[in-house]
A and B are shown apart, each in its own frame.
Chain A
Amino acid sequence: MRVTRRQAFGLGLGATALILAGPATLPAVAKKAETADDAVKAFTGGAEAKSGKISLTTPEIAENGNTVPVAFEVESPMTAEDHVQEVLVLADGNPRPGVATFHFSELSGEAAASTRIRLAKTQNVVVVAKMSNGSYYMDKRLVKVTIGGCGG
């Protein structure tokens, strides 16, 4: 088969698209989720996330969106029977909402962690916790961002 100029161009485009899609196939949080709601649904498997149990600490105003400190603590006895298994952190206004998933065990003592995240603009930081008994808890807080932190 002869490859015309037009076909060759299309081929090139396809290859580029593949390369662009490449990083998304790497293990990442909520890689397929388009919105934060989808990501929450994918995480909970459709189960409803109750409010409460989580205390989320974020700055009210973040001057620099490149490093926004986020800390959370989930109320739980953290025993083998009853502990927090996973905690999903999302930023609902980022181009990709997934931030991180934390895995805990009964050896964690307390289901608490803190990290620093990037926020593109003023938005909600959402935290969803998965308990060992299959229930989910959710909390969110608005963070006002002065200078976005996603480059570009």
Chain B
Amino acid sequence: MAKVKPRVKVPRSAKAGEVVTIKTLINHKMESGFRKDKKGELIPRKIINKFTAEFNGKKVFAADVAPAVSANPYFQFKVKVPESGTFKFTWVDDDGTTYTQEKKIKVGG
């Protein structure tokens, strides 16, 4: 499988207390576990089952994900940023692998 590469879009800077929009995408097949291969055997489930976003160590947004979320799961959400800091995004795979990505945001004015 192609290398899993998370992609996140966070604005570089914001005003204090501004609500910013964050877009995240990770390439992943999201194999539902209901599909069958050519021999008629079920393909084992392999999806991203959890996504979390933290800001300066505090959880701000999370999603529990079922197989009904499309391949290459995309999430867009909003976060209020009171101060400069770092966002940490974590995706958890069914096989236990976690993928993380960090992004800094500068708050001024």
Q: In the bound complex, how far is the Cα of B76 from the Cα of A112, in angstroms? A: 8
Among B49, B77, B94, residue most surrounded by chain A Cβ atoms (within 10 Å): B77
Is A49 part of the contact surface with B, judged by Cβ < 8 Å?
no
Contact A23 B33 (CB under 8 A): yes
CB under 8 Å from chain A, chain B span 12-46: 19-20, 32-36, 42, 44-45
Q: How many residues of B contact A (CB 8 A)?
A: 37
Contact B79 A109 (CB under 8 A): yes
Q: How many residues of A contact B (CB 8 A)?
A: 40
CB under 8 Å from chain A, chain B span 51-109: 55, 58-71, 73-80, 82, 94
Known: A26-B94, A102-B63. A108 touches B78 (CB 8 A): yes
Other 7 A-B pairs with CB < 8 A, given A78-B80, A113-B63: A66-B70, A71-B76, A108-B77, A112-B78, A113-B76, A115-B74, A151-B35
Q: In the bound complex, how far is the Cα of B71 from the Cα of A149, in angstroms? A: 11
Residues of B within 8 A of A91 (CB): 68
Is A96 part of the contact surface with B, judged by Cβ < 8 Å?
yes
Known: A26-B94, A115-B76. A101 touches B71 (CB 8 A): no
Among B62, B74, B78, residue most surrounded by chain A Cβ atoms (within 10 Å): B78
Residues of B within 8 A of A104 (CB): 61
Among the 9-residue stretches A7-15, A27-35, A128-136, A139-147, the one with 4 or more Cβ atoms under 8 Å from chain B is A27-35
Contact A108 B76 (CB under 8 A): no
Contact B75 A115 (CB under 8 A): yes
Q: In the bound complex, how far is the Cα of B49 from the Cα of A101, in angstroms? A: 11
Q: In the bound complex, how far is the Cα of B30 from the Cα of A116, in angstroms? A: 12
Residues of A within 8 A of B45 (CB): 23, 26
Residues of B within 8 A of A27 (CB): 49-50, 64
Among A29, A71, A150, residue most surrounded by chain B Cβ atoms (within 10 Å): A29
